[in-house]
Amino acid sequence: MFKLRAALPRSTRYAIGGASVGLMFVVWFIVTMGEDPFLSPATLPAPGALLAAIPEMHYEKLMLANALVSLLRITLGFLLAAFVAIPLGILMGAFTPIRAAIEPLVTPLRFLPIAAVVPIFIFWFGLDEEMKIALLFLGTFVYLLPLVVETVDQVDDVYLKTAATMGASRWQVIRTIMVPASLPSIYEELRVLYGIGWTYVMLAEFVSVADAGFGYGGIGYLINNLRRYGTLAEVLVAVVLILILGVTVDRLLALIGQILFPWVKRDD
């Protein structure tokens, strides 16, 4: 039997993960193969159908260009949210009056469906890039800010009191104790929340136009069009590309985290 929370070597974890992915593809091939497959192409196209759809998706429907534009929008909204949420969260974690003033304004926004904000942002910003970036900013900011505050809260009071006893000012305590102790955890939260951007950019691009802003509607716009004028295989190809980009960016962020914070123990 498996032990609770048993540690596994990285090679073992990768082997198990690779085997599960391989098994999924085998099952996919089995249930879609033959002239009378268990699942019809309208329900789940065969792997070969996805491969056959890639050239048209790339050359005629500019799938990669649209996906990279979506990634750029996510990154801009994410960086803007981090630029505001990190210093504000640190101040809220350090000074209770600031926290008492800001928290009632931001906390309710976490319970607001982001789809409900889209019509408001269209009235304010139109259908251009401003609307998409604002939506991505809001969607990331409302979740990132409380995580930053919680991370600052977790800094042990012993360190703060020791620094104060040694004559450090409040701002010196924040700069030399709170911020360095919080940054590794804040970075990991940023890495996790980056993926949320795909949800919001799809929603924003569903109401986009083809040549808005950067000249492309984005992967969300493309998928919305494929829903009406394309095939399920083409939609799945676009979804697979999103997964590949998402995993690639996450691995890149993990590598950067190892460089920035080499003393932090990680399982990935």
The predicted-structure confidence for 10-40, as pLDDT tens digits, reads as follows 888 889 889 998 999 899 888 888 777 888 8
Percent of the chain with pLDDT over 90: 35
Residue 1 has pLDDT above 60, yes or no: no
- Token digits for 106? 């931001």
Which CATH superfamily hosts domain 47-260?
MetI-like (1.10.3720.10)
Residue 8 has pLDDT above 90, yes or no: no
End-to-end CA distance of the chain: 24
Q: Name 184's Cβ contacts closer than 8 Å, sequence gap at least 6.
A: 257, 261, 264
The predicted-structure confidence for 211-251, as pLDDT tens digits, reads as follows 555 667 888 889 888 888 888 999 999 999 999 999 999 99
Residue 210 has pLDDT above 80, yes or no: no
Q: Name 122's Cβ contacts closer than 8 Å, sequence gap at least 6.
A: 131, 207
Residue 141 has pLDDT above 90, yes or no: yes
What is the band of 198 on the pLDDT scale with cuts at 50, 70, 90?
confident
Helical residues (DSSP H) of 95-218, grouped into ranges: 96-106, 114-125, 129-153, 157-165, 170-173, 179-194, 196-206
Would you state the pLDDT for residue 213?
A: 57
CB 183 within 8 A of CB 191: no
The predicted-structure confidence for 149-171, as pLDDT tens digits, reads as follows 999 988 887 877 787 787 777 88
User: Considering the chain, what is the average pLDDT of its residues?
Assistant: 86
Residue 208 has pLDDT above 60, yes or no: yes
Least confident residue range of 2-6, 63-67, 255-259: 2-6
Residue 265 has pLDDT above 80, yes or no: no
